[in-house]
Amino acid sequence: ELFFDERLVVPDQTLKLFDLAETHWPEGGTPYFKQALGAIAKHYEFDKSARWKDLPAFAQQVLLYGSGEDKFGEFG
């Protein structure tokens, strides 16, 4: 079974989602990444400008592990 350490993906839970992207990609990710993040936030009705620690648990789960069978838009 493969797994990853969530602390490596989200090293600082006080950062906002787009700021977290900058910890992994020097330029904060691509426009595609930001568009996908916006689509996920809209579908699951959470604030894409929220700090990681303030996101609902289900939103963190979807962002870390995916939406499973739940399909939406072109990013689902």
Name the residue ranges covered by the structural domains of the chain: 12-65
* Residues with Cβ within 8 Å of residue 50, at least 6 apart in sequence: 16, 17
Question: Which one-letter DSSP state was computed for residue 48?
Answer: T
pLDDT surpassing 60 at residue 76: no
Mean pLDDT of 72-76: 60
pLDDT value for 47: 94
Residue 48 in contact with residue 37, Cβ under 8 Å?
yes
- CA–CA separation, 74 and 17 (whole Å): 20
The CA distance from 50 to 48, in Å, is 6
Whether the predicted pLDDT of 31 surpasses 90: no
